[in-house]
Amino acid sequence: MPQIAQILETYASQAFWLLIVFGLIYFVIGRGMLPKIEATVDARDRKIADDLVAAERAKAEALTMEGSSSADLMAARAAAQAEAAAAKAKAAKDAENRLAKADAEIGAKLAEAEGGIAKARATAMASIEAMASEAAADIVAKVSGAKVTAAQAATAVKTVMANG
Amino acid sequence: MHQFQIEPIAHLTLGGYDISFTNSSLFMLLVLGAIWVFMAGGMKGAIVPGRWQAAVESVTGFINNMVSSSVGPEGKAYVPLVFSLFMFILVANFMGMMPFGIVPGVHGFTVTSHLTVTAILAIMSFGTVLVVGLWRHGFHFFALFVPHGTPWWLMWLIPAIELFSFLIRPFSLALRLFVAMTAGHVLMKVLAGFVINGLNAEAAWVGAVVSLPSFILMIGITLLELLVCAIQAYVFALLTSLYINDAVNLH
């Protein structure tokens, strides 16, 4: 077995070259390159963690925003409804007022017209009486030749008319 | 056994020691180059990794997880060491499995099939544990040999057993890797020999009866051997991180 047969003649060379090579591997690769690769991995892990945190935060923000916007919407709707109700009520009151006013106007006009009619009737009645008493006096004078005073005729007419 | 032979490529000496550049040294440099290329491909630092970067990051993440799960948050400082051990052993094992032999005159070599190499790696692992343990806990580090809840009447035995199991660690680390790689390569060599010798046999039926089953078995053993390459690297790294855990946290 050469490993053992040659050990005395080769150990120095083996050790010498192994120490050089392993030293290079340890110091150049293990201590020089390895930390950089690990730093890359760490940076990536940190970036992923940061991104996850940021995404989480954005999600929470969006959720609160959604909540507040829906609340806003509800408030706006309620306000609009209140406004609409107020407008409706106001319109109804307006209409009522106008109706009442018109009613009153019509009533007044009616009363006035009725007053006019009554007055006209009264004057007509009076003129009918006068005419009737005159006519009655004329008729009496023509028929009987008796002179009837206007006052007498008037009382007579009045009694007749009162009787119907 | 020729595959384990160390042959000098350039003769060098330093202070009376023979530090020749050998085929073993060459393969160590190949391993270094392969690891460097692999790691350099993952250095883009892109937030969204490409395939290569994802592969490199999965390997570093694997070692990072292993160390932090066995040592805890303080294990961060030992990730480079465990990672270097893991990568060196893994790539050296795989480099030994590469079919360099199909090019005439080129011979593959498995760095980790040499006891000298595995022993030095194990000593590094064990030495780190000793230095870290003594540095952090001073004399209290020897409390490691007296587990919690040891009955007083076993005080003469348990520390001795614990000390023995502690001292055997570098040997078990070194021998496990060395034996696994050597045995695997010897087994493949033997099976490959069956295939070749069966085909070269004078009787034609020997080829069918010996070579074909050996060849099929060879495919399975090769796959198994690739698995062993990864497992041995994993075991070495895992045990190192567990031993470091002993040193850092006692137990």
Residue-wise pLDDT for B73-100, tens only, equals: 888 899 999 999 999 999 999 999 999 8
Chain B CB within 8 Å of residue A59 CB: no
pLDDT at B251 over 80: no
> What pLDDT shows up at residue B49?
87
Is residue A141 one of the residues assigned to a domain? no
Record the tokens describing residue A57, joined without a space. 């935060």
What's the half-sphere exposure (Cβ side, CA atoms, 13 Å) at B180?
24
Residue-wise pLDDT for B156-174, tens only, equals: 888 899 899 999 999 999 9
User: Domain spans of chain B?
Assistant: 2-249
Q: How confident is the model at residue B140 (pLDDT cuts 50, 70, 90)?
A: confident
Range of the domain at A49: 2-120
> What pLDDT shows up at residue A159?
83
User: Rg (Cα) of chain A, in Å, rounded?
Assistant: 63
Domain count across chain A: 1
Assign B9 to helix, strand or coil. strand
- In the block, residue with structure tokens 């270097």: B84
**Which of B35, B80, B111 lies at the smallest CB-CB distance from A31?**
B80
Q: Which residue has the higher pLDDT, B35 or B250?
A: B35
Residue-wise pLDDT for B178-225, tens only, equals: 999 999 999 999 999 999 998 888 888 888 888 899 999 999 999 999
**Which of A2, A10, A15 lies at the smallest CB-CB distance from B120?**
A15
Is residue A142 one of the residues assigned to a domain? no
| Complex prediction ipTM | 0.89
Is residue A88 one of the residues assigned to a domain? yes
Say yes or no for a CB contact (<8 Å) between B116 and A14.
yes
Residues 6+ apart with CB under 8 A from A158: A129, A133
Residues 6+ apart with CB under 8 A from B42: A37, B49, B52, B53, B55, B56, B57, B60
Is residue A135 one of the residues assigned to a domain? no
Is residue A70 one of the residues assigned to a domain? yes
Q: Which residue has the higher pLDDT, B102 or B150?
A: B102
**Residue numbers in chain A where pLDDT is lower than 50:** none
Is residue A85 one of the residues assigned to a domain? yes
Is residue A41 one of the residues assigned to a domain? yes
